[in-house]
Structure 1
Amino acid sequence: MSLTPQWLDELRARTSLSGLIGRTVRVTKAGREFKACCPFHNEKSPSFTINDDKGFYHCFGCGAHGDAIRWMTEHQGLPFMDAVKELAVLAGMEVPAPDPRAAKRAEAAKTLHDTMAAAQDFFVRNLAGDGGQAARTYLATRGFSRGVIETFGFGFAPDSRGALKSALGEFGVEQLIEAGLLISVEGRDPYDRFRGRLMLPIHDTRGRVIAFGGRILTAEKSDAPKYLNSPDTPLFDKGRTLYNLHRAAPPARGSGRMVVVEGYMDVVALANAGIAEAVAPLGTALTEDQIARLWQVVPCPVLCFDGDAAGQRAARRALTRALPLLKPGHSLSIVTLPAGMDPDDVVKTQGPAAMEAMLAQGVSLIEALWQTERDAAPLTTPEDKAGLKQRLVEATETIQHPDIRALYRRDLLDRFGALAYPQRDPAAPQRPAFTPQRRGTKGPNGRWMPPEPPLPPESLTQMQKVGQVMITLRPLLAAVLLGLIADPRLIRRHGEQMARIAPSDLTADGLLDSLLELGDQHGADEDGPGLEMSDLVTKLGSRGLIVPTSDDLAGMPYEFIARGDPSGIAESIEIIVELPLVELALAEANAKTQHELTEQSFAEQQRLVQRKLALRARLGQMGRARAAL
């Protein structure tokens, strides 16, 4: 049939969805919509809504969603064309005339389905016959029940190059090659693809056999792959097919859980343990199409990966492919099994209850992303930590949905801030601020106070380094503090980083500490109103702190930051925190190379020199770029 999208849209528009569903389900009016108890899962209170204006139904309990055609195919169990024809009769429309080419393709597909059904019968007969003893023994060692063996349709392919070819000769060699059952090699007769293997049929969503998977049984064939799947055919696209989806979808809608494991034998093992909502990809990493199919069933499938290196690689690939597809209410849960174990191992050694407990403890997608990137490389140097931040930002940029992208970025950067800039411990001794040695000062009673005791030479040198750097950074720090006053919502976002700023005359007077304290007390957060600038200035003034006014902003070297530029403030704080630390580390490295010059100490000294130059270059570029505006 030649059914254009326009014709199908007209069919949907002419169909009263509430009337259609109301033929078999009791529906009640609720405002502009209709409600009912969901027919896809058992429930006592209605969570199933029908919207005639928009032409779709949706269940907030199990996630069932679709239009009139999908209702007829999923609930009524009709093939697509039969559903279309029945709806066309109800809508008073004529189905377009048959397309000869489409009819030919449909006939060819029907013949291929017949071929695959015949091959399945052949494999099942061989499992029960004399030649299937080794396969039956293997199934017994796995502990699969008879019911599971029959439900999943286990079979056996004889170790022969022509057994299936002869048994299915009525379909013709070309048909068997097209179905992926025979291998055709130039200059040789076609031969059976599956030989000496335990066989499992692979079905489409309507339960028709479209491909096979075979597990080798003979240990001597060390050069043969352990598992072998059918190639892509007109019926089978391994990147779009999920093994066992036709059986797993109904119980998954009822429980709200879909479990994705790595292989089809894992699916069978879980079914044998009473977990029926399991599916698996077929020889490839989870694809975008497969993720979309999972979300059609449940909003948050559970991805269960083996605890080996291959399982971890599969988890990373799944994360990468899922991020661009994220949409409101849809995500993934990630479960990693103990090292060296697969689902069958867990069930056999710890029992089904332990497997259920592991599936219930899956981590969210954002938590899995954070753990994966955090553990991907060492985090011993500032450069390592900067690399982590870059990886996190790049990962979030792949998310297409703007709200989810923004929320992921904020959450991950908050985690990064807690890791890279741990909060200052109030009980820990603080590094003294650098001030020039004084000759003496007058105390509150008018008497001269003696000078403070001198610092040890080494500490004095280090403090002098910090003081010199902070003098250089004084205009930038002043601009940052004014920028935070101009936009108090930014205080909490950067609070943990600012707590690491080295002491200086701009921090010793209490302005920075007061900003951090007031930000925490009054919830100066991006998502809430927090403090207004006028309130913040008043509270600072009540503490005896002098706050510059807007007139003082004009002509500042970093005026754009002082006016509350978020990106400028973030970059400035990074420089203010890191540059003094790099200067201190460089001073220590210089001293070390003077006493003991080694290849390692020289390399570290050069690394710090390059980092110092890079930070100062960023500082200079920031000023020049904004000065030109």
Structure 2
Amino acid sequence: MALSPQWLDELRARVTLSTVIQRTTKLQKAGREWKACCPFHNESTPSFTVNDQKAFYHCFGCGAHGDVIRWMTDQRGMGFMDAVKELAAEAGMEVPAPDPVAAKRAEKRAELIDVTVAAQQWFVERLASDVGAKARKYLASRGFSDGVIREFGFGYAPDDKQALPGALASFDEAMLVESGMRIAADDGNRYDRFRDRLMLPIQDARGRVIAFGGRILDKRDGVAKYLNSPDTPLFDKGSTLYNLYRASPASRKTGRVVVVEGYMDVIALANAGIGDAVAPLGTALTERQIELLWRMVERPVLCFDGDAAGQRAAMRAATRALPLLRPGHSLGIVRMPQGLDPDDFLIEHGAPALEKLLAEPASLLDTLWSFERDAQPLNSPEEKAGLKARLLAHVDTIEDQDIRSLYRRELLDRFSAFAFPKRESSWQGRNGQKGNGWKNRNFPARPVTSSAARASLKSLAGGGNRDALLSGVVAGLRRFPDQLDRHCEDLADLAERDPKVADVINPLLDSLEPLEAGEETPISATTGRSAPPDNIRFAFLREGTDPQAARDILAEAVSLLVERPALEAALAAATARFSTDPEGAFADQQRLLKRKLEFDARLGQMASMRAAADDETDADSGTDTTAPTPETADSAQ
């Protein structure tokens, strides 16, 4: 039975390691990880850790290390296939049937690895020989240390089309071609693929040589600067990251992985002491490579060249990542200074300066916004509309519903602030103040509502009474137009979420022009819904209410109108996702419930303050507050 590496990776990804281990070992949560006393040796202080994101366990005491399959074989004493079958049943996966073809393919891969390993040894020998003098001079000019040269396995391919058949005489010609070391031309001629190039081995996640990259030493017209092995049974460039074998353990220490454009950048960073860098291999970052990165860290940092090509590469990676985004997983993007690649930056500014850049990457959303904003002129309404269309086209590719909604809202907010900047008000108050007017005023919270009024107002936030509350808020904003700007963003969000109220709120927002209280509003009194019914009365609409107190009650009414429905809608959406994403939905539900409790607590705190003030006022006036009658409760509204 042949199990492909891809199938085994899928199995590991579907099973939560800590869940399996907790069946026999008690774990305690420690940040992002779990800890316990090691089950493989006796100890009194926990040194055994489990990391679900990276899907491995490790003991710092005895060195035990492995994935979920290794746990089943080493701790549970199961055979490999028995462990795989039990985990597959838990993950809902079918174990592939015995496949003679796959077994033959695995045998072929092993034979081809023998070819690439032998070629690597020969390239290293050529670098140390007389024919490698030019290559050694180039390495010295780059400032690479002897340790880095040995660690990364630098070699040299002589300028000879027929060198490999003699050097690797133990392998037949067909194997040399199939491994990518030789080229079979259409005319029947065969020749070495790599000639007069500085050679670098490309290794898989287990450190086995599976392909090569070669760099020319002298610039030649029509000759590619870099040349990689073609796709072979060993090597799939879209599923391989250069230096993954070394960067994985370094990343576990730093909690970071850096993605650069090419393998020479990787080596330059390693030479400067930054060992957690990887690179794609001659292609834009692929979906499979992004998933490999997310198995290492939740937010890989892309650090591409500062020229236009480098920024386009970063943007291509960003657009590849958008459909794959899931909670907690994204990309950070570092923009190198114009004209510099990471190697140049290290030479000019040093490793500490680069570390500082890597520590402050831009978010994926920031990168989308800045790239599209700067991509084309934005001098006309049509060009601005094109920017909005491009942004929304990116958003529509995001498959996760919550992330898509958040991206849409954030990008539309930025677009609105850019395309519709707030105009300076021409309103002039009684004191002659111009410009921002009420924006410079303070709005202190005051204890203004009675217990009965608060209960009545709160009851209007849901059910059929919500229409009355909306009408009351609209009427209140007509009476106090200076409050419209204070609440415009919340009301705009509400209009976007709820088309049923958009016809009432949008005319208010469109007429965002400060007026003196009592002046004629530019909004027709008959626009949208009618004024509140006579049997629903609001303190902020009654004559005789202190104006500042009325504004405070109006602010509470807006909060009840906007915030609570938004939380309830988000809770409903999280609950609806339980069947497809139980873990994520539960986490979102708990977060939203916490926010709702905080919101209710805030209202309760406000209520307590106001109740105390009301009671004091009632006591001073001789009013009995112990048991308000329906009549007094109604009048308090």
Q: TM class, shorter-chain normalised?
A: 0.5 to 0.7
Residue 407 of structure 2: SS of its match in structure 1? Answer: helix
Q: How does 1:557-576 map to 2 (within 5 A)?
A: none
Deviations 1:117-147 (A, max 9, x none): 0010010000000000000000000000000
CA distance in 2, matches of 1:145, 1:278: 17
Deviations 1:581-605 (A, max 9, x none): xxxxxxxxxxxxxxxxxxxxxxxxx
Q: CA deviation at 1:158?
A: 0.3
Residue 238 of structure 2: SS of its match in structure 1? Answer: coil
CA distance in 2, matches of 1:122, 1:428: 82
* Residue matched to 1:243: 242
CA distance in 2, matches of 1:273, 1:234: 34
Residue 234 of structure 2: SS of its match in structure 1? Answer: coil
Letter in 1 for 2:191: Y
Asked if the contact 1:484–1:490 (Cα under 8 Å) also holds between the matched residues in 2, the reply is no
CA distance in 1, matches of 2:278, 2:233: 22
* Residue matched to 1:385: 384
Q: How does 1:252-291 map to 2 (within 5 A)?
A: 252-291=251-290
Q: How does 1:307-318 map to 2 (within 5 A)?
A: 307-318=306-317
Residue 222 of structure 1: SS of its match in structure 2? Answer: coil
* Residue matched to 2:373: 374
Residue 406 of structure 1: SS of its match in structure 2? Answer: helix
1:100 matched to 2:100? The reply is yes
Q: CA deviation at 1:499?
A: 6.1
Asked if the contact 1:15–1:87 (Cα under 8 Å) also holds between the matched residues in 2, the reply is no
Q: How does 1:143-154 map to 2 (within 5 A)?
A: 143-154=143-154
* Residue matched to 1:226: 225
CA distance in 2, matches of 1:356, 1:14: 32
* Residue matched to 2:540: 539
* Residue matched to 1:323: 322
Letter in 2 for 1:341: L
Letter in 2 for 1:539: F
Asked if the contact 1:183–1:193 (Cα under 8 Å) also holds between the matched residues in 2, the reply is yes
Q: CA deviation at 1:66?
A: 6.0
CA distance in 2, matches of 1:424, 1:13: 54
Cα distance change, pair 314–170 in 1 and its aligned pair in 2 (3 A): same
* Residue matched to 2:187: 187
Q: CA deviation at 1:169?
A: 2.3
Asked if the contact 2:57–2:66 (Cα under 8 Å) also holds between the matched residues in 1, the reply is no
* Residue matched to 2:130: 130
Q: How does 1:223-622 map to 2 (within 5 A)?
A: 223-426=222-425, 491-493=491-493, 501=511, 509=519, 539=540
Unmatched segments (≥5 aa) in structure 1: 40-44, 50-56, 69-73, 431-477, 516-533, 545-565, 567-629
Residue 211 of structure 1: SS of its match in structure 2? Answer: strand
Asked if the contact 1:135–1:156 (Cα under 8 Å) also holds between the matched residues in 2, the reply is yes
Cα distance change, pair 346–429 in 1 and its aligned pair in 2 (3 A): farther
CA RMSD in angstroms, aligned pairs only: 4.7
Asked if the contact 2:56–2:65 (Cα under 8 Å) also holds between the matched residues in 1, the reply is no
Asked if the contact 1:15–1:91 (Cα under 8 Å) also holds between the matched residues in 2, the reply is no
Q: How does 1:147-166 map to 2 (within 5 A)?
A: 147-166=147-166
CA distance in 2, matches of 1:397, 1:371: 18
Residue 274 of structure 1: SS of its match in structure 2? Answer: coil
Cα distance change, pair 203–48 in 1 and its aligned pair in 2 (3 A): same
> Structure 1 residue aligned with 2:20, among 17, 20, 27?
17
Q: CA deviation at 1:101?
A: 2.6
Asked if the contact 1:418–1:496 (Cα under 8 Å) also holds between the matched residues in 2, the reply is no
Cα distance change, pair 364–48 in 1 and its aligned pair in 2 (3 A): farther
CA distance in 2, matches of 1:165, 1:203: 23
Cα distance change, pair 115–334 in 1 and its aligned pair in 2 (3 A): same
Cα distance change, pair 213–91 in 1 and its aligned pair in 2 (3 A): closer
Asked if the contact 1:211–1:236 (Cα under 8 Å) also holds between the matched residues in 2, the reply is yes
Asked if the contact 1:113–1:209 (Cα under 8 Å) also holds between the matched residues in 2, the reply is yes
Letter in 2 for 1:276: G
CA distance in 1, matches of 2:226, 2:20: 46
CA distance in 2, matches of 1:208, 1:362: 32
Residue 330 of structure 1: SS of its match in structure 2? Answer: coil
| Matched positions, count | 452
Asked if the contact 1:184–1:191 (Cα under 8 Å) also holds between the matched residues in 2, the reply is yes
Q: TM-score, normalised by structure 2?
A: 0.62
CA distance in 2, matches of 1:169, 1:345: 42
Asked if the contact 1:88–1:94 (Cα under 8 Å) also holds between the matched residues in 2, the reply is no
Residue 123 of structure 1: SS of its match in structure 2? Answer: helix
Asked if the contact 2:197–2:216 (Cα under 8 Å) also holds between the matched residues in 1, the reply is yes
CA distance in 2, matches of 1:380, 1:108: 61
Cα distance change, pair 508–255 in 1 and its aligned pair in 2 (3 A): farther
Q: CA deviation at 1:422?
A: 1.2
* Residue matched to 2:205: 205
Q: CA deviation at 1:361?
A: 1.9
Asked if the contact 1:273–1:352 (Cα under 8 Å) also holds between the matched residues in 2, the reply is yes
CA distance in 2, matches of 1:347, 1:512: 61
Asked if the contact 1:421–1:497 (Cα under 8 Å) also holds between the matched residues in 2, the reply is no
Cα distance change, pair 209–30 in 1 and its aligned pair in 2 (3 A): closer
Asked if the contact 1:424–1:500 (Cα under 8 Å) also holds between the matched residues in 2, the reply is no
Residue 170 of structure 1: SS of its match in structure 2? Answer: coil
Asked if the contact 1:127–1:155 (Cα under 8 Å) also holds between the matched residues in 2, the reply is yes
Asked if the contact 1:260–1:301 (Cα under 8 Å) also holds between the matched residues in 2, the reply is yes
Asked if the contact 2:305–2:336 (Cα under 8 Å) also holds between the matched residues in 1, the reply is yes
Cα distance change, pair 242–483 in 1 and its aligned pair in 2 (3 A): farther
CA distance in 1, matches of 2:350, 2:539: 64
CA distance in 1, matches of 2:125, 2:72: 33
Q: CA deviation at 1:157?
A: 0.3
Letter in 2 for 1:334: I
Query: How much identity, in percent, do the aligned residues show?
Result: 49
Q: CA deviation at 1:14?
A: 14
CA distance in 1, matches of 2:71, 2:160: 40
Asked if the contact 2:425–2:513 (Cα under 8 Å) also holds between the matched residues in 1, the reply is no
Asked if the contact 1:422–1:496 (Cα under 8 Å) also holds between the matched residues in 2, the reply is no
Deviations 1:452-471 (A, max 9, x none): xxxxxxxxxxxxxxxxxxxx
